[in-house]
Amino acid sequence: MSEPVLEIRNLNVDYGLGEQAVHAVRDVNLTLHRGEVLGLAGESGSGKSTLAYGLTRLLAPPGVITGGEVVYHPEQGEAYDVLALSDRGLREFRWAETAIVFQGAMNSLNPVHKISTQLGDVLAAHEPTMSAHSRQARCREMLKLVGISPDRMDAYPHQLSGGMRQRVMIGMALILQPQVVIMDEPTTALDVVMQRQILGQLIELRERLGFSVIFITHDLSLLVEFSNRIAIMYGGRIVEEAPAASLYRDSLHPYSAGLLSSFPALRGPRRELTGIPGSPPDLKGMPSGCSFHPRCPKVFEPCAGNIPVLGRPTTPDGASRSVACWLHPVVESVG
Amino acid sequence: MTSIQDAPAPASEVVLEAAGLTKHFPVRRSLRDLFSRTHHAVHAVDDVDLTLRRGRVTALVGESGSGKSTVARLLAQLYPRTGGDIRLHGTSTRVSGGRQFRQYAARVQMIFQDPFASLNPVHTIRYHLTRALKIHHNAGRTSADLERALHDLLNRVSLTPPERYLDKFPHELSGGQRQRVAIARALGANPEALLADEPVSMLDVSIRLGVLNLLRDLKERLNLAILYITHDIASARYFADETVVMYAGRMVEGGDSETVTQSPAHPYTRLLIDSAPDPDRLHGTLEADTRDRGNGEPPSLIRPPAGCRFHPRCPMAMPRCTTDLPVRLEIGDRPGHWAACWLYDQGTVAAEQPGSAAAAGIVREEAP
């Protein structure tokens, strides 16, 4: 496995303060390696977006990071904790080192500015010495890279289709050649044909430019196909993390198994599927013990009382994966 | 509530039928258009034939902008149609509000995509369901009758025990529970046909199947005809008996779900199936199957391409595709499987090479 580029250690994020605080992300440990696509899956309210905002320090109040660290390893130089950066350091870190493509990115372009202005703004802010001419050239190059003809530079967002706006957003995220790109449901609003084209292009760009991706979505079947490793979140915690293929072939956590069997297959025999009974937990009143236990088909004694720790299971491929479930004894805990 | 379980009906009885259904939305004319006397319109739905049978689920699959929701709204008579016919049990119907519409709605009910928006946040579940029951005269005479009918409805959609849900407000329920209330409300009218417009796409993935299984169960118990509109062709395979694929306002392929998804005939259906996420296809096999000549975007429906609307993107396009509208052709592998594609017309394929127009880059837009 290649060296880590981003290490999340014991990250905790709350909404609100004191007694009433809602714990949206709890004790998350996650490592992103150089050049890999790490998928982060979970239902709405599982804390996956909060995790992404937390690690980039983009959380809006009442969100607060209550603990943990996010260690970033730049290509050259010392590793540092993103959560401890000064405002100035953070400004330099953002976009240049870690860029984020937001949920509903198609609507996050400013409608009253041209594409070229919005792309150019990024460069003007981060590389103030760059001349206007070379800024233009760089924008042109970037648009070509994401498959938009450079003569659309002076178009306004409304003149582009949803798919093209999405490409602009991806181009904008890549323009400073960051090491890490976080994509929060980047293709949810797009049709499947467009989704495949954009993701195919993204994978191609990743191979060429060598950045790492954290890909957040609720569509697990998409992740199995496109990512190297997958982490599954439930109720603010990571419940399982494994290479995509092993997760798909033999998932250990009952929630992962349930999530995988929530997608009807397009090929193979047609069989009755049930999804997962019950509804996702309310973060305000989390169940005791394992937060999945009220919905779990394999629940037994320890589940309701104690929170399982995330650790390496004793299976043959245990070294490459981790799980937090009482069904699977763990040899060493992660983090 | 009057019992509909014991309504004897042959399984294949046609409930609702659309023939040549067409809807054009007018586009605001600019001053210049006034002089040139051209009328622009969005050709949202053109010439759609659809049959909903008792106890069967028909899926209508298409991408955004393909006109699938417009078809549902036309069938629910929420929009007046531009052309074609809607037949309820063989009788042509055209209603536009008032008592007639209510009578129609008592037999054909719609379920909307977003249960967060389709329930009124200031009213309880009891209010929503009572209203549906009263409007469609299913509330009975006494308050005990009404109470029984309410319990019945919630039991049907597996919101048990009903007392726990009746006096809640929509915000106190989860998305899946809300969609179940929306389904119960539709059932309150005691309909024969349900038009479900993307009923699960706003719900969490883990509970989607629960709602689909509920709809299937209701179909079997109440012998309903269901139109299931979706962009997810895998769920159409799972849930529907028949599947019809729409592209840019026209139907391009139809047949029983298993045939359409396992041996798709129309190039667009193939593209759609190849593009769907497939966990069995691990990494790297992407380029080969994105056989899309276009940039993944449907054409303008104000000036749709002449001939087959898919021809600008079709890798198999022939010169004839750019000029002549393809007719429905039987594929012949399974009864009832058809595609609107010249590839299945042997005369055309013999005279012209499939893909020849694609190679030559011929694209024809309809004259303004």
List CB contacts (< 8 A) between A148 and chain B.
none
* Adjacent-strand bridge partners of B340: B328
What is the rounded distance in angstroms from the CA atom of residue B321 to the CA atom of residue A240? 51
Q: What is the pLDDT of residue B6?
A: 41
Q: What is the pLDDT of residue B365?
A: 59
Q: Is there a contact between B9 and B223 (Cβ–Cβ < 8 Å)?
A: yes
Per-residue pLDDT band for B20 (boundaries 50, 70, 90) equals very high
Q: What is the pLDDT of residue B197?
A: 93
**A316 assigned to some structural domain:** no
**A268 assigned to some structural domain:** no
Q: Is there a contact between A41 and A223 (Cβ–Cβ < 8 Å)?
A: yes
> From the CA of A218, how many Å to the nearest CA of chain B?
7
What is the rounded distance in angstroms from the CA atom of residue A62 to the CA atom of residue A207? 38
Q: Is there a contact between A333 and A318 (Cβ–Cβ < 8 Å)?
A: no
What is the rounded distance in angstroms from the CA atom of residue B192 to the CA atom of residue B226? 9
Q: Is there a contact between A333 and A309 (Cβ–Cβ < 8 Å)?
A: yes
Q: What is the pLDDT of residue B8?
A: 42
Residue with tokens 């490459």: A320
Per-residue pLDDT band for B294 (boundaries 50, 70, 90) equals low
Per-residue pLDDT band for A148 (boundaries 50, 70, 90) equals confident
Range of the domain at A170: 103-177
List CB contacts (< 8 A) between A277 and chain B.
210
List CB contacts (< 8 A) between A280 and chain B.
174, 204, 206-207
List CB contacts (< 8 A) between A224 and chain B.
277, 279, 282
Q: Is there a contact between B231 and A192 (Cβ–Cβ < 8 Å)?
A: yes
**A155 assigned to some structural domain:** yes
The DSSP annotation for A181-212 comes to EEEESTTTTS-HHHHHHHHHHHHHHHHHH--E
List CB contacts (< 8 A) between B295 and chain A.
147, 163, 197
Do the chains contact at A264 and B281, CB–CB below 8 Å? no
Per-residue pLDDT band for B366 (boundaries 50, 70, 90) equals low
What is the rounded distance in angstroms from the CA atom of residue A159 to the CA atom of residue B227? 34
Opening angle at CA B237, ends B233 and B241, nearest 5: 125
What is the rounded distance in angstroms from the CA atom of residue B148 to the CA atom of residue B110? 24
- Over its C-alpha atoms, chain A yields an Rg (Å, rounded) of 21
Q: What is the pLDDT of residue B287?
A: 44
For chain B, the residues whose C-beta falls within 8 A of a C-beta of chain A are 63-64, 174-177, 204-210, 213, 231, 233-235, 237-239, 258, 261-262, 271-283, 286-287, 290, 292, 295-297
pLDDT digits (tens, 9 = 90+) for B218-244: 999 999 999 999 999 999 999 999 999
Per-residue pLDDT band for B61 (boundaries 50, 70, 90) equals very high
**A94 assigned to some structural domain:** no
Domains parsed from chain B with CATH numbers: 14-26+41-251 (3.40.50.300), 269-360 (no CATH)
**A108 assigned to some structural domain:** yes
The arithmetic mean of pLDDT across residues B147-158, rounded, is: 93
Opening angle at CA B202, ends B88 and A290, nearest 5: 135
A178 secondary structure, DSSP code: -
Nearest Cα residue in chain A from B272:
A193
Rounded to the nearest 10 degrees, how much is the dihedral formed by the CA atoms of A272, A274, A275, A277? 180
Q: How many cross-chain Cβ pairs, A to B, lie less than 8 Å apart? A: 125
pLDDT digits (tens, 9 = 90+) for B316-341: 889 999 999 999 999 888 889 999 99
> From the CA of B94, how many Å to the nearest CA of chain A?
33
**A147 assigned to some structural domain:** yes
Q: Is the pLDDT of residue B9 over 50?
A: no
Does A248 touch chain B if contact means CB atoms closer than 8 Å?
yes
Does A152 touch chain B if contact means CB atoms closer than 8 Å?
no
**A137 assigned to some structural domain:** yes
Q: What is the average pLDDT value for chain A, to the nearest integer?
A: 89
**A95 assigned to some structural domain:** no
Per-residue pLDDT band for A106 (boundaries 50, 70, 90) equals low
The arithmetic mean of pLDDT across residues A310-327, rounded, is: 90
Q: Give me the number of domains chain A comprises.
A: 1
CA B237 to chain centre: 14
Residue with tokens 């809640």: B168
The arithmetic mean of pLDDT across residues A150-172, rounded, is: 88
